[in-house]
Structure 1
Amino acid sequence: MTLRERHALVTGGGRGIGRAIAAALTQAGARVSILGRDETSLRDAVAAGVAADFAPCDVRDESAVSSALDHLSGGHGFDIAIANAGAVETGPFMRSDSKRFRRMVEINLIGTVNLFHAVLPAMLEQRRGRLIAIASTAGHRGYPYVSAYVAAKHAVVGLVKSLALETARSGVTVNAVCPGYADTDMVASGLDTIAAKTGKSREQALAEMVRDNPQGRLIAPEEVAAAVLYLCGSGSDAVTGQSLMINGGEF
Structure 2
Amino acid sequence: METSARLAVVSGGGGGIGRALCRELSQRGYEVVAVGRDLRRLRDLEVLIARAADTGPPGHPPVRGVVCDVTDETETERVLSALGPVDVLVNNAGTAESAPLHGTTLRSWREHFAANATSAFLLTRHVVPGMRERGHGRVVFIASIAARAGTPYTAAYAASKHAMLGLARVVSAEVAGTGVTSNTVCPSFVRTPMTERSVRRIAERTGRTPEAARQALADSGPLGRLVEPEEVAAAVGYLVSDAAACVNGQSLVLDGGGIQT
TM-score, normalised to structure 1, is 0.95
Kept in 1, the 8 Å contact 2:22–2:63? The answer is no
Distance 1:53 1:187 in 2: 25
Aligned position for 1:111: 119
Distance 2:4 2:200 in 1: 41
**Is the partner of 2:32 in helix, strand or coil?**
strand
Pair 1:198 & 2:196 matched: no
Aligned position for 1:158: 166
Quote the offset at 1:130 in angstroms: 0.3
Residue of 85, 88, 96 corresponding to 2:93: 85
Paired AA for residue 3 in structure 1: T
Aligned position for 2:9: 9
| Residues 77-119 of structure 1 deviation map (CA, whole Å, 9 limit, x = unaligned) | 1000000000011110001122221111111000100110121
Quote the offset at 1:143 in angstroms: 1.4
**Is the partner of 1:88 in helix, strand or coil?**
coil
Kept in 2, the 8 Å contact 1:127–1:172? The answer is yes
Paired AA for residue 164 in structure 1: S
Aligned position for 2:53: none
Pair 1:30 & 2:30 matched: yes
Paired AA for residue 125 in structure 1: E
Distance 1:15 1:204 in 2: 24
Paired positions, count: 248
Distance 1:206 1:37 in 2: 27
Residue of 202, 224, 232 corresponding to 1:224: 232
**Is the partner of 2:9 in helix, strand or coil?**
strand
Aligned position for 2:44: 44
Pair 1:56 & 2:58 matched: no
Distance 1:4 1:250 in 2: 38
Residue of 129, 132, 142 corresponding to 2:140: 132
Paired AA for residue 56 in structure 1: V
TM-score, normalised to structure 2, is 0.92
Aligned position for 1:211: 219
Pair 1:102 & 2:113 matched: no
Quote the offset at 1:127 in angstroms: 1.1
Q: Which runs of 5+ in 1 are unaligned?
A: none
Q: Larger deviation: 188-197 or 48-57?
A: 48-57
**Is the partner of 1:149 in helix, strand or coil?**
helix
| Residues 190-237 of structure 1 deviation map (CA, whole Å, 9 limit, x = unaligned) | 101111121111121112212232221000000000000000111111
RMSD: 1.2
Paired AA for residue 66 in structure 2: A
Aligned position for 1:184: 192
Runs ≥4 residues deviating over 6 A: none
Structure 1 vs Structure 2: percent identity of aligned residues? Answer: 39
Pair 1:234 & 2:242 matched: yes
Paired AA for residue 11 in structure 2: T
Pair 1:19 & 2:30 matched: no
Distance 1:14 1:2 in 2: 25
**Is the partner of 1:48 in helix, strand or coil?**
helix
Q: Which runs of 5+ in 2 are unaligned?
A: 51-61
Pair 1:65 & 2:76 matched: yes
| Residues 149-203 of structure 1 deviation map (CA, whole Å, 9 limit, x = unaligned) | 0001011111111110111022110001011000000000110111112111112
Kept in 1, the 8 Å contact 2:2–2:242? The answer is no
Distance 1:214 1:49 in 2: 33
